[in-house]
Each structure stands twice: as C-alpha cells, then as structure tokens.
Structure 1
C-alpha cells in the first residue's frame, strides 16, 4: 500500500498493518460517536444493499487469488511480494466499491477521470483513502488532480508537467507524480516515446524531474490491450530500462513502476512493477 510519511511515501510494515488501518478507516454512516469515520453521502439510487454486498463478495472471492498470483510472480523474479502494491481501480463503480476495498485492506484507490475523483473524494473522511489519478489528464483539469490525488500516474507530457509544477509552486509544495512513457510504440498510447525514441523520452523525463513544483516518484506505462506475452513482456521491460536510465538524472530519485492491469499484471510484476492497477479482476465488470 502507499502511505504518507511527512512529505515522502513509505511502505507499511506488513499486510496485517494495512488491513488493520483500512478496517479502522472504513467509512460508516453517522453514529453520533465522536471520532468515528463515516461516508458523508446518503445511499445513491444505484447503490443498494445488494450492490454493496456484491462488491464485498467479489473482493472476498477475487483478492486472495490476486495476492497469490502477485506473490508467485514476484518470487519467480526473485523479489519480495511485499514490494508490490495493488491500486484498486473503481472507475464507473459506486462508492460502495471503495468501502468494500477498505474493508479488506485495499487503501489505494485509482480513478481514471478527474470528475470521479471530484465526486468520490468528498464522500470519505480525509486520510482514509490514498487516491491515485491514473487516467489521461487535460491541462485544464490539472488543478483538480493535483488537489485530490496523492499520486498522479499519468504525466504524459512536459506541458502537463509544467502546469502541475506551477500549481505545486503556488501552494509551496511538490506534487507527487509518475511520468507516463509509451513503451509499446502504439500511436494511440500517450506518454514519452520510450519505445520509438528512448533518448527523447529520457530528455523529457529529465526536463520534468527538474521542475521545482514536482516530485517524480517513477514511471508509468500502459501495455497493449491485446498482445501476446512476448509483446507485453517487452513493453514492461522497456519501461524498467527507462527507469534505470533515468536514475542517472539529477533530481530523479523515483523507483516506482506503475505497470500492469487486470489482463497482464503477473507479467508486469515479473518485470519489476511496484504498483498494479486492477479493476475488473477485483470487482468484476463495471455496471452498465
């Protein structure tokens, strides 16, 4: 899980601590007792008791298998499974999905759209959820992402980075970000061109790392949605190589690799991922 310690992220001491923290933080309805956290929203029209029970049942069934597969993949590559964090992606899901995630120890919640962050973040007591912005961010929506997310995964251009840096400077802080790289070479994918022109990508990473209002924690990539294992593995390996190359850049101390989704997270972990972004494999298909 991703925890804040001062101005830096730190790993929890173990999964037991993470589960206990999230269990304590699980939002509840107002109880009248001082200090008890709760979700400050009435039940939404689409969020029935049956819907919430479905989320809980899905996580209870799916999360153990996900943990086992992450552990096996980490061990195959000689890594500690505890270095891999699950970001539960709740795009399109009701707030009950987040409550269910907290109840099983998943504190890291990812949203693709700034609008969903704006809708969901106020529903939970501050400090109960670590929010991740993982989708494409338009520069005009950068302020919302910087304000609401503990980590922005998808800084895909120097121009967006410059906008976020100005926002950070105005608030006398450094916005935590990951630089998105295009490690597959697909024209439809965003990010710095780690596959087609690694030197240009490295130059972009250096320019972003030098911005005073940002703290670059590492890199993010998206693999092809339909590809064989060799293509997926090559994509993730290029991202890891880009991170290793970036380690020589002044001001770049990031070691995070956000890569791997529901269809490819095991390969991503084998290739060095420290954060996997999982939605369908945890919660099932999105409603509607």
Structure 2
C-alpha cells in the first residue's frame, strides 16, 4: 500500500467545500456545474490518496468527516487568495465587476444600504451587491464561513462579548465610523429640553424600554457605570415600537443614531445625545486579504464614504 499523499489541488478544495455547503454530492455537482459521477469519482480518488474518508452518509444526507472538515475549513481562505489574484489581474486590465456578498445589522438596512446601492449603481455598474441582515456575531461567522465577503457590524465600548475579539481573529477588521447613542424621552420629560449631551444617571428612577439583545447589554453596562440597574419594563428590537412606547409615556430608552434616523421621529418624542464615550463603533469585517479583490475593495471604499456621511464620523475619530 502506497504512503498517503496529503497534497491538495484547487478543484478538490472547491468540491469538498461545495459538499459542506450543499449537504450532498448531487448538490455540490449542481453548484459547481459538474456531473454527479465526476464529483463522486473526484472524491473517491481524493480519499484513496489521503488514506482516510472525506465524506460519510448519515441517513439521506452526506456530511464531511473530520478530515473533510479540515479541508473545508481551509478552502475558504484559499478561495479568497485565488479571488484576490484574479482580481489584481482584472484590475490590470481595467475591469471591476463581479458579485460581492454583504451582511449587515438591522439599522443599517434602511440607512446605509440604500445609499450604498445608489453609489454603486452610479460608480460601479458592472458590480452586483447582495445583502442579508444579521446581527454582528452571526455576520462575522458568515464571513469566516465564506458565506459573505463583507460584514457591516458594530461594537459598544466595554462590551464583554464584543464579537470583534477572538471570533474575528484572522479576519480584516476596520472601524469605519462611530454611531452616537441617543436617549429617547417623552417630549414633556424634564431632560428633554436643550441640545447638548446629557448624562444617564438622572434617569435612574425611570422605567426603561430595552432594544435588541446587544443594545440591552450595553444599556445595562451604561447604567451600571452610573451606579444603578435600570427597571426594564419592555424589550423589543422594533425601533418604531420603542418610540411609540416612549411617546405614550411608558418609559424612556436609548437608541443608536442610525436607528433613529431610519424613520421620522414620532410626535411626542425627543432625542438627546449621550456622551461621545458611549458611541458604538461601526466595523467592516472581511476575510484576510479580501480587500485586494477589486470588487470587494470598491464596496469597502463606498461603504466607508456612506457611513461617514450618515454618522458625520470617520475611522480616524476617537
């Protein structure tokens, strides 16, 4: 019996990755444009050369073995490098086209996305952008798993579960702006007057309406630093519902600036900024080296510009 040969080629990496994504050899063949027998034979030859199985059948589905998962895990990084090389060659030829897959947090959908699409339509007509909404941890996981090219995410100061830490290791993470945090108050509230930032400590005795899980976590952090635990009466990730509850005098809340700017402020509601130290950082996360792919680089450039326009901040601000 010959010794195992662990060298892999690009076609094998693509096939194993496609099986992981599709759950079957048939699905992999369809996505790659190959015949099912061709994919089966390629997998069989790979297993013979490695000396270990790469796939195994579980019920009606095909899943990767531990060896297959190792190959699939590295396939995304290899694909990024190949796309970067192809992109640089395309750049030399003056080409800028292709599809860029982006995921973003909910308040970016009605604010950042429309402006980004408009800029791309005017400046990069040969480029296609797809978009899926996801919270930061899931969005970063999508980039790592090669389900997305760019994740638009956010992180709050002092967040103990900041997704831009260990879970983003090896990815390219860039702060592209800062989104202010606003206190959302009934119009007749004593703190509603004025225009400058307010402190949160005077709101210690109020009832609170909390937002999304990450925003709720930051609310607890902010209030904790001010020396109190907020009495949270309602929780909803619906920005409009938060404002409606505040307008009815049910309580007070905090919302990010992008969330507030995504729809007209309701009658009976006033927003006041909290100190700049409470702003959330807006991040663009991509696979290591993906920024060398012209299409990805182009979207990142326009994304920086749009976030800067909407927030009045840039990556160099502190």
| TM-score band w.r.t. shorter chain | under 0.3
Determine which structure has more spread, i.e. the larger CA radius of gyration. 2
Normalised by the length of structure 1, the TM-score is: 0.26
Length-normalised TM-score, structure 2? 0.24
Higher strand share: 2
Of structures 1 and 2, the one scoring higher in RCO (CA 8 A, sep 6+) is 2
